[in-house]
Amino acid sequence: MTEPSLRARALRHLARRDHSRAELTRKLAPHGSAEEIDAVLDRMRDLELQSDQRMAESWIRSHAERFGKTRLRHELAQRGVARELIERALAGEEVTNEEERARAVWRAKFDAPPKDAREWARQARFLNGRGFDAATIRAVLREAPETGDESQ
């Protein structure tokens, strides 16, 4: 049996899900030279089989309900998507606002507002880890009792 070509490998990856060019380059690197990989990926782009913009939009659609914009930006940047493409994809995918998403994520994890500063900090860390910014976290947890150093 012969080794699959770079083109076949790239198509197999793209058949599963959209990949960024950087992801495909990394996955194909053990199987060909940089020039060969660039040529295959250029052809995939020309045929509109691979698009970083489409990959970013798809990824955001599938992850926006669980993560905040900060985390979405970070994850896409880790996948090699350019900043301007990330921002364009985020702007085009305003299904719900950030606070509504954060509140939905919070409700799925916690059944009650924080009762004290320690619980507030735990819930805030959870939301922060999901990529929500401090202002959004304060808005979601604003029902919390005054903790002294946390202003509402």
Report all structural domains of the chain as residue ranges with CATH numbers, in order of start. Answer: 1-50 (1.10.10), 52-95 (1.10.10), 98-140 (1.10.10)
pLDDT at 43: 94
Q: How far apart (Å, rounded) are the C-alpha atoms in residues 140 and 147? A: 15
pLDDT, tens only, 7-39 = 999 999 999 999 999 999 999 999 999 999 999
List helix spans (H) across the chain.
6-16, 21-28, 34-46, 52-63, 69-78, 83-92, 98-109, 117-129, 134-140
For residue range 38-90, list pLDDT tens digits in order: 999 999 999 999 999 999 999 998 998 889 999 999 999 999 999 999 999 98
Are 81 and 56 within 8 A, CB to CB? yes
pLDDT tier for residue 3 given thresholds of 50, 70 and 90: low
Q: Which of 25, 26, 12, 98 is nearest to 60 (CA)?
A: 98
